[in-house]
């Protein structure tokens, strides 16, 4: 197939592109490079630098390349930033997503796999989280993703699109070629590794008084390569599924303190920490079941060990200590 990957110069998009190419697909990557990196685009992919706000440019891409399916990852993704700038999140994650859908319809492209998030669930009362858990976001980032999922439902009703929405939990790790490089870096594991590399004096821990086993937030980490492979599995099943929503998780929860301690073992670094006040919008615990994805699209995580996840990120960041600008 010819696959369009929006946000393909970003963390997950780069590794998804790598996996799609390995599966024999042709890939067109669209990214505005505001937060992505040209060096993160696999050399065998076609790259177009543009923004989803530009419908003329998007239509030109669909008309130039015979796109069979879209993997939509382009989005703003910081919980903390979304609490300060909610308007940017609704514009980028909802309005510009609608621009993409309109271009798909105009060019008779019917398949879309959407990068959603566990943030749609907010602070669930019952764990593990399943797809039946009622979504109730507690930050604009999660709300914007849920809003777009609702948009997808109505576009399917109106235009008979085939859609799969993948709700990720905490994505971490790296492939051999590609990894996490954000400015500022918001993900816990890459920031822990920066301390191990001597690039920061300590890792901030936001809150130690949550109702969890050690007072710090608990998260369900999923290897980025497993996330990429889930997209491939979804694509293979999309024609028969119609519209589905799947959780992507390891099913195991690790606290911030446990994650830091695991990183100390993997890296051999002391990794000092400093406790800060809670961040607004952070749920205490997010752990999920991905049983439905296993049953319906045959996906399960192959790299769910926290040690393996951190080791892959550590190996990549040692080779790229300053990200894609390491020279």
Residue 112's SS3 state is strand
**Bridge pairing between strands 218-223 and 253-255:** antiparallel
For CA atoms 5, 134, 105, 98, give the dihedral sign.
Answer: negative
Q: How many residues in the chain?
A: 327
Q: Which of 96, 121, 141, 168 is catalytic?
A: 141
Say which residue the tokens 């943030």 belong to: 119
96 is catalytic: no
Under the phi-then-psi rule, with left for phi > 0, alpha for psi from -120 to 50, and beta for the rest, what region is 7? left
State how far the alpha carbon of 302 is from the alpha carbons of 19, 174, 209, 211, in Å. Answer: 15, 14, 33, 30
Say which residue the tokens 């400093």 belong to: 274
Continuous H helices in the chain:
11-22, 55-64, 79-84, 86-90, 96-106, 140-159, 188-196, 224-241, 256-267, 291-297, 306-319
Token pair, residue 71, equals 């993997």
State how far the alpha carbon of 270 is from the alpha carbons of 3, 31, 204, 264, 308, in Å. Answer: 44, 37, 14, 6, 19
DSSP 186-230: --HHHHHHHHHTTSSS-EEEE-S-SSSSSSS-EEEEEEHHHHHHH
DSSP 66-93: ---EEEE------HHHHHH-HHHHHIII
Which residue from 235, 199, 216 is spatially nearest to 70, judged by alpha carbons? 235
Residues carrying an active site annotation: 141
């Amino acid at each position: 197939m010819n696959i369009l990957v929006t946000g393909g110069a970003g963390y997950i998009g780069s590794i998804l592109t790598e996996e799609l190419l390995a599966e024999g697909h042709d890939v067109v990557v669209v990214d505005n490079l505001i937060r992505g990196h040209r060096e993160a685009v696999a050399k065998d992919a076609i790259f177009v630098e543009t923004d989803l706000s530009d419908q003329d440019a998007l239509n030109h891409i669909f008309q130039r390349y015979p796109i069979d399916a879209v993997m939509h990852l382009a989005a703003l993704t910081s919980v903390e930033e979304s609490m300060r700038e909610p308007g940017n999140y609704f514009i980028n994650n909802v309005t510009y997503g609608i621009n993409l859908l309109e271009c798909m319809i105009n060019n008779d492209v019917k398949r879309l796999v959407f990068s959603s998030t566990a943030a749609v669930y907010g602070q669930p009362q019952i764990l593990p989280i399943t797809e039946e858990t009622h979504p109730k976001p507690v930050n604009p980032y999660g709300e914007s993703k849920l809003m777009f999922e609702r948009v997808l439902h109505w576009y399917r009703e109106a235009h008979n699109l085939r859609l799969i929405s993948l709700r990720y939990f905490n994505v971490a790790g790296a492939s051999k070629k590609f990894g996490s490089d954000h400015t500022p870096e918001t993900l816990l594991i890459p920031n822990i590794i920066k301390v191990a590399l001597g690039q920061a004096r300590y890792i901030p821990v936001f809150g130690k008084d949550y109702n969890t086993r050690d007072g710090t937030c608990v998260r369900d980490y999923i290897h980025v390569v497993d996330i990429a492979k889930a997209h491939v599995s979804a694509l293979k099943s999309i024609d028969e599924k119609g519209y589905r929503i799947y959780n992507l998780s390891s099913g195991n929860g690790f606290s911030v303190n446990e994650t830091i301690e695991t990183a100390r073992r993997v890296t051999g670094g002391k990794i000092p920490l400093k406790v800060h006040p809670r961040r607004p919008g952070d749920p205490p615990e997010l752990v999920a079941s991905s049983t439905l994805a296993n049953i319906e699209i045959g996906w399960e995580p192959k790299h769910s060990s926290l040690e393996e996840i951190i080791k892959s990120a550590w190996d990549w960041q040692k080779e790229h200590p300053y990200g894609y600008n390491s020279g």
